[in-house]
């Protein structure tokens, strides 16, 4: 296996691709952007983009500096055999948001999606991709129900972390999980 | 009873009070603003502010041009004997948001709360007041559970109306109500 990560210039190439990706996502939205277009803008071969990052959702996650990817989320949720899926989803979600380092880039994305039409278009395409391919496909949750799970999680972000409404803002994660997991379960289960 | 509504200049006085209220809420946040301070800024007697609008939450609703007030919401939810409380809440909420005229001012408030610290402070105080006094007090839902209901409703706003993620954005209101009411019920009921 080629040691591409250590090749001189690999870091710069990676950064150039991410810069091109941010420009393409911002200009064309998530749906409109392509690996081919990002590669062209970065002046590299499309195979190199794929080699560095994988599929489009992975390029987006790296470009937006999001702290985790949906594949990783799914692996953790499916691996969590101590809790049911609804509880594992809320637990994972709170874990990520309780950490200020991972909270910052996601907060920036939610804020821009709430106010800028272009950012909303980008997030919309990304969420649709994630909901249909990962949540609906791999977890077997119908897409509309998956979107209602997303509603509940984004609402938690807005009320607990952005607007910081009490008593939710200061409630202990375990208490929030215990109260909110049944709500997700009600949407997930038919 | 004095016919104050028809007194010459009443409309101008009302507008002057609302302008002062917007300034005070924006400067001091919802918690910091007072009827007395708003009256002082408008150059009127505090009794006149109370006469025109009532309590502080009513002044806020008028100042922010929100299309309904929590008292009205509660009356409708309690009067809706055909559905349980969870379903009545989701149904009322969707009714209001499906109407583009009532959607616009609320969308503006949610957007500013998502991005501006001062607006977030204002909305935070208002929501705390509504959650504790109306929802927790009059509907008898504990404050933390009420805040989680607010999370669910604000999340719906974000995903369905702001970011417009499919298939939720285009789903029929009745289908959304049928799927989402059980989630609110799970949070409301102990």
> What tens digit of pLDDT does each residue of A155-185 get?
998 899 888 888 999 999 999 999 999 999 9
Of residues A18 and A9, more confidence is placed in A18
Q: Is the pLDDT of residue B4 over 70?
A: no
Q: What is the ipTM, given to two decimal places?
A: 0.77
Mean pLDDT of chain A: 84
CA distance A87 to B67: 36
> What tens digit of pLDDT does each residue of A107-142 get?
877 887 777 777 788 888 887 877 777 777 777 888
Look at residue A16 in the predicted model and tell me its pLDDT. Answer: 92
Count helices and strands (H / E) in chain B.
11, 0
Q: Is the pLDDT of residue B8 over 90?
A: no
Of residues B31 and A35, more confidence is placed in A35
Task: Show the CA angle centred on residue A71, arms to residues A70 and A72, nearest 5°.
Answer: 90
CA neighbours within 13 Å on the CB side: how many for A110? 27
Which residues on chain B are in Cβ contact (under 8 Å) with A160? 151
> What tens digit of pLDDT does each residue of B98-124 get?
887 777 777 877 877 777 777 788 888
CA distance B49 to B18: 9
Of residues A64 and A41, more confidence is placed in A41
CA distance A27 to A166: 38
Q: Which residue of A120, A131, A185 is in closest CB contact with B162? A: A120
Structure tokens at B182: 């059980």
CB contact B171 to A (< 8 Å): yes
Mutation site, A154, A182, A184, interface B, largest B CB count within 10 A: A154
CA distance B140 to B126: 19
Measured CA distances, A18 to A3, A51, A100 (Å): 20, 13, 23
* 3-state class (DSSP) for residue B13: helix
Q: Is the pLDDT of residue A88 over 50?
A: yes
* 3-state class (DSSP) for residue B178: helix
CA distance A151 to B156: 5
CATH architecture of the domain with residue range A70-188: Orthogonal Bundle (1.10)
Residues 6+ apart with CB under 8 A from A81: none
Mutation site, A156, A168, A171, A187, interface B, largest B CB count within 10 A: A168
State whether CATH 3.40.30.10 applies to domain B4-63. Answer: no
CA distance A103 to B118: 20
- Contact (CB<8Å) A147/B167: yes
Measured CA distances, A69 to A62, A123, A137, B151, B185 (Å): 9, 14, 16, 24, 31
Domain boundaries, chain B: 4-63, 70-188
Look at residue B50 in the predicted model and tell me its pLDDT. Answer: 93
Confidence of residue A74 (pLDDT cuts 50, 70, 90): confident
For residues B43-68, average pLDDT:
87
CB atoms under 10 Å from CB of A173, counted, come to 14
> What tens digit of pLDDT does each residue of B117-154 get?
777 888 888 888 777 777 777 778 888 999 999 999 98
Measured CA distances, A119 to A26, A75, A107, A116, B18 (Å): 7, 28, 13, 5, 33
Structure-derived torsion over alpha carbons of residues A86, A92, A94, A95, reported in degrees to the nearest 10: 160
CB contact B174 to A (< 8 Å): no
Span of A41-50, B1-10, B47-56 with lowest mean pLDDT = B1-10
CA neighbours within 13 Å on the CB side: how many for A132? 11
CA distance B79 to B72: 10
């Amino acid at each position: 296996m080629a040691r591409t990560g250590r090749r001189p210039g690999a870091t710069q190439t990676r950064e150039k691709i991410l810069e091109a990706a941010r420009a393409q996502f911002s200009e064309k939205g998530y749906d409109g952007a392509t690996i081919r277009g990002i590669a062209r803008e970065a002046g590299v071969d499309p195979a190199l983009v794929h080699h560095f990052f994988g599929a489009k959702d992975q390029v987006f996650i790296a470009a937006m500096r999001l702290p985790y990817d949906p594949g990783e989320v799914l692996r953790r949720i499916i691996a969590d055999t101590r809790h049911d899926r609804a509880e594992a989803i809320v637990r994972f979600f709170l874990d990520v948001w309780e950490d200020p380092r991972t909270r910052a880039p996601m907060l920036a994305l939610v804020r821009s999606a709430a106010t800028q039409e272009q950012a909303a278009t980008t997030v919309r395409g990304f969420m649709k991709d994630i909901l249909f391919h990962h949540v609906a496909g791999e977890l077997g949750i119908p897409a509309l129900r998956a979107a209602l799970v997303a509603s509940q999680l984004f609402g938690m972000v807005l009320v607990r972390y952005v607007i910081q409404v009490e008593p939710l803002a200061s409630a202990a994660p375990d208490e929030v999980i215990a109260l909110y997991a049944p709500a997700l379960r009600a949407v997930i289960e038919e």
